[in-house]
Amino acid sequence: AKCQCKLPPKDRTNCGYPGISAAECKKIGCCFNASTPSVPWCYTPKAKKVKKVCPNDPYTRINCGYPGITAKECTKRGCCFRARPAGVPWCFYHRVMEE
């Protein structure tokens, strides 16, 4: 993503080799910006920001527990707990979303 490449030149970490082309740099998953001399032009992008969320749609839940699990036991496993509706897992895994 373009926002991952918005790094001040002083914070760039080299990701390529001397003379690497923009195409080759991007092909290996790195950012390329040759506008500032004396800093890496092919550099490592910022890490993606992710967050864990409990899915809203009860029919997309992936079971993380067992029948009769308590909310406390479920959250101790690091999962979401919602005791409704019937017929779907009440203890279920988070979804990882990019911010």
Tell me the pLDDT tens digit for each residue of 65-85: 999 999 999 999 999 999 999
Structure tokens at 37: 């001399």
Topology alike, domains 3-47 and 50-98:
yes
Tell me the pLDDT tens digit for each residue of 39-68: 999 999 988 878 889 999 999 999 999 999
Question: What pTM did the predictor assign?
Answer: 0.53
Does pLDDT of 1 surpass 70? no
Query: Does the domain spanning 50-98 belong to CATH 3.40.50.300?
Result: no
Determine the CATH number of domain 3-47.
4.10.110.10
Q: Using CA atoms, how far apart are residues 9 and 45, in angstroms rounded to an integer?
A: 12
Q: How far is CA 81 from the centre of its chain?
A: 22
Q: Rounded to 5 degrees, what are φ and ψ at 55?
A: -60, 140
Per-residue pLDDT band for 94 (boundaries 50, 70, 90) equals very high
Residues 6+ apart with CB under 8 A from 45: 1, 4, 5, 7, 29, 30, 31
